Amino acid sequence: MNDRLTPAFASRSVAVKAGLNHPVIDTDVHVNDYTPVLEDYVQQYGGGQLVDALRKVLGSRFNTRSNGKDWYEQTQQERRHHRTLRSPWWARVTRNTLDLATYTLPELLNERLAEQGADYSVLFPNDVLAPLGAGKEYRQALHRAINHFHADQYRKYSDRLTPVAGIPLHTPQEGIEELEFAVKTLGLKVINIAGGVRRPIPAIAEKYPAAEHPDVARHASYTDFYGIDSEYDYDPFWAKVVELGVPVTTHYGSQGWTGRHSISNYMYNHIGHFADGSQAFAKALFFGGVTRRFPKLRVALLEGGADWGSHVFTHLLDRWEKRNRHAVQNYNPAHADLDLLEDLFHRYGQDLIKGRKLDKATLLRDSLGRSALPHSREPNEDEIDDFALAGIEAPEDIKTRWVDSFYFGSEADDRSVAAAFNDKLNPLGAKVNAIWSSDIGHWDVPDLTEPLAESWDLVEQGVIGPADFKAWVFDNPYRLYTEANPDFFAGTAVQRKLDSGK
């Protein structure tokens, strides 16, 4: 028997855990679906046709295709010709076969949680959002089947493990229907969404219908981030989320976006892509006023780290101070003193004028350049205030609608998490809500017993302090879930530990 399956085995993380006086909550654990049983559930929801739809979408998830071939089937010349995005190769743990089995067998994962050093884990099955790649006729049934499978697989271990429900958001109504089914029927209590929906650009779609020009349709699209500039009013969905007391989570990436579309290098596309994707989604909710209208909405943005949450918070404040509806008048051409401008040109601009006759009427235009000319009409108040929908009247409003609403998943060995806790760097003495996200189950964690110890290494190296560590692995995750649902941890190992005072 592998010595790790014996009571005598103690990992580095077990030693760290023994010295803590608080629980550890892992907000991001990836697990595999055992295909034969998953397909049994899918069969019950839609027969063999739905199983075929699942197999098709799973078979194409990591294969970017052009001209009928995936990246690995194409020659270098074909990749260049079609600009085929480099997709990932091996992405799951395999050599560590014990971990491979752990991520596939719920009972084994539950047993080894203590070895990992966690008291409670939120699980993200790798296929939970796979139905988003299926056709509209299959999407709802696949989501229900997969969510039902996950709910049943982990219900027995609910004191330590809870899987997320995958929720499609092509329309608000679709999201509401699946949210209610997942929460009310299946008893799931965390949801996972994509941070955006790709939609056709109407002007191009009218000229090049997708049925006739599929290649044009594939490339000529934009992303709807559910907030600012959205195709739909998603407020009914956010209202239902708050009503049901469900935290929202996303692992939204940006591979394939401009600047992340290498045809040869996966790492070039990968580094930073979760931060960029989640930033677009979070800013849409902020600038669209979603976090203003729904102050109890709690959103976790995973796998991108917390440092980007810190720098966006800083830049929001910096820009609001310069571009709020009052300060932006500093740049209004109507406020230029033309008499003063003419006088200064006469006094200091003779080398430029060189005998030219100054025309006060065109002097402003000539100084600003034609690209800065006033528009044909005066803007209204909302058009000059980019912070209008967010309702920002003071710096503290930005903190409330950014720092309080969003939680940032930081992996165990991510040294940049220190930015989240740097209240000297962050405006208003704020600390950004970093949440501990081990990401076990993916290629960046070859051994599930290491992440907690790697995070404690940052304390020993002086990167963060012990109080920051506690906030990272317990305080912030606990607040994320309980602010959405005060009873989130009722009956769990976390609540028992808190009740016992140990």
DSSP string of 95-120, one letter each residue: SSHHHHHHTT-HHHHHHHHHHHT-SE
pLDDT value at residue 40: 97
Q: Tokens 């049994």 map to which residue?
A: 40
This prediction's pTM: 0.93
- pLDDT of 482 above 70: yes
End-to-end Cα spacing for the chain: 32
pLDDT value at residue 502: 63
Residue 8's pLDDT band, with cuts at 50, 70 and 90, is very low
- 289-327: per-residue pLDDT in tens? 999 999 999 999 999 999 999 999 999 999 999 999 999
pLDDT, mean over the chain: 92
Most confident stretch, 56-65, 284-293, 435-444 = 284-293
**Percent residues over pLDDT 70 in the chain:** 96
Long-range CB contacts (< 8 A, 24+ apart) of 197-206?
197/169, 197/170, 197/223, 197/224, 197/226, 198/222, 198/223, 198/224, 199/223, 199/224, 199/231
Answer whether 3's CB lies under 8 Å from 9's CB: yes
pLDDT value at residue 318: 96
Q: Does domain 3-31+90-322+389-500 have CATH number 3.20.20.140?
A: yes
pLDDT value at residue 374: 61
Helix 172-180 and helix 235-244: axis angle, to 10°? 20
- 28-66: per-residue pLDDT in tens? 999 999 999 999 999 999 999 999 999 999 877 656 667
Task: Report the alpha-carbon distance of residue 116 to residue 447 in Å, rounded.
Answer: 9
Task: Report the alpha-carbon distance of residue 311 to residue 315 in Å, rounded.
Answer: 6
- pLDDT of 9 above 80: no
SS (H, E, C) 176-227: HHHHHHHHHHCCCCCEECCCCEEEECHHHHHHCCCCCCHHHHHHCEEEECCC
Task: Please count the other Cβ atoms lying within 10 Å of the Cβ belonging to residue 442.
Answer: 19
Answer whether 98's CB lies under 8 Å from 4's CB: yes
Residue 210's pLDDT band, with cuts at 50, 70 and 90, is confident
- pLDDT of 439 above 80: yes
Task: Report the alpha-carbon distance of residue 102 to residue 112 in Å, rounded.
Answer: 8
